[in-house]
A = this chain, B = another copy of it.
Amino acid sequence: MPCQGEGGITWRHRRGSITAIISPLPNVKVLMERSHPVTIVDVAERAGVSPGTVSNVLTGKRPVAESTRQRVQRAVEELGYQPNLLARSLVNRSSNTLGVVAYGLEYYGPSRTLVGIERQAAELGYSLLLDLLHRPDDQDVDAVLAELTARRVDGIIWAVHEVGDNHAWIDETRLHSLPPMIFLTMEQRPGAAIVATDNRAGARLATQHLIDAGRRTVGILTGPTSWWEVRERLAGWRNALEAAGLEASPALIAEADWTAAAGEAALKALLVRRPDIDAIFACNDQMALGALHCCLAAGRRVPHDIAIVGFDNTPESAFFWPALTTVRQHLAELGRLAVNELHRQIEAQQQGATLTPARHLLHPELIVRASSGGAG
């Protein structure tokens, strides 16, 4: 029978023992030279209780007498005990960790979204395991998913743009063997929760603004059409123009690769084909910058001869020359929402329920500046 009180110790010492120097002053103890990280057993010994009781104090899941709680707390502090989350996760079958698979972190959108994800995750008590793809379309995705499940993440956020057929990577059966998962910017399909910006609405907003400003021949500068976002923005552009009875033909479309350099070149070629263009909707701010450059070089005044609208509202866009009218996405909010939704799914699953996967669409907003002539 374990003896108690007076600091009696019944738990066996294992491995290197703790050398405690008890200073002459009462209640002041200095620990030195621990040869191994302190465990819950060490704390239990010092507090004269069982490991189970220490656990109860720490997790607060079950009642414990005030006096022993204090004794344990003091032992924890004196030893500088830090629980081993690996062990805890192992027995709990939950790591309090979310996996984030992302692409293009060096760009504005994804990094902003990641910040939102991290914040909300931290708020809900999750840690983040980060995996980056080097290309959106050709990578061994199985390896990263295997890695994440091997680490027993509670959920996965898929923040990779839908490009080409990469959405086929994770089919429904695959999804079945994975923890709860949420997709950012990916086309809706059964069994998967989604949080995304309404790209189509954003493009409509931009195009309608140009139409309202009296423009009649609105070209579009797109990213690669293998991207789902691009196809959505194209659709929005087409919608707005057709609704206004204006031309929305392929002849007005120039495809680039998201960069300012390519944007400049693509617009240059487009203007040769269609010198009558009096407005451009660029699918991101960088290509819009390239477009501004192109116009400047070609002697076309912005916005007098050509009005330009971008997409993203990067911080620099307000300082382009002229300042860029653009579409703002709520990127951090997107990330927060994704985490919240994922959290819901996780909790539901832990309680044995299954939620019907939600689908959130965030509405972008138009920021009017000089490049569209709209700022007056």
Contact = CB atoms under 8 A, between A and B. Distances in A.
Interface in A94-133: 95, 100, 105-106, 108, 111-112, 114-115, 118-119, 122, 127-132
Contacts of A289: 316, 319
Interface string A283-297: 000100110110010
Contacts of A111: 105-106, 111
A165 interface: no
A40 to B, nearest CB: 12
B152 A85 contact: yes
A86 B80 contact: no
Interface of A: 80, 82-87, 89-90, 95, 100, 105-106, 108, 111-112, 114-115, 118-119, 122, 127-132, 134, 146-147, 149-152, 177, 259-261, 264, 286, 289-290, 292-293, 296, 315-316, 318-319, 321
A93 to B, nearest CB: 9
B106 A112 contact: yes
Contacts of A152: 84-86
Contacts of A87: 90
B84 A90 contact: yes
A150 B293 contact: no
25 contacts: A80-B177, A82-B150, A83-B150, A84-B90, A85-B151, A86-B89, A86-B90, A86-B152, A105-B118, A106-B112, A115-B132, A118-B132, A127-B131, A128-B129, A128-B130, A128-B131, A129-B129, A130-B130, A260-B316, A261-B318, A264-B319, A286-B315, A286-B316, A289-B319, A293-B319
Contacts of A84: 90, 150, 152
Nearest to A152: B86
Stoichiometry (number of copies): 2
Nearest to A99: B127
A129 B106 CA distance: 18
Contacts of A80: 177
A58 to B, nearest CB: 12
A206 to B, nearest CB: 20
B134 A119 contact: yes
A296 B316 contact: no
Contacts of A147: 127
Contacts of A316: 260, 286, 289, 316
Contacts of A150: 82-85
A105 B109 CA distance: 11
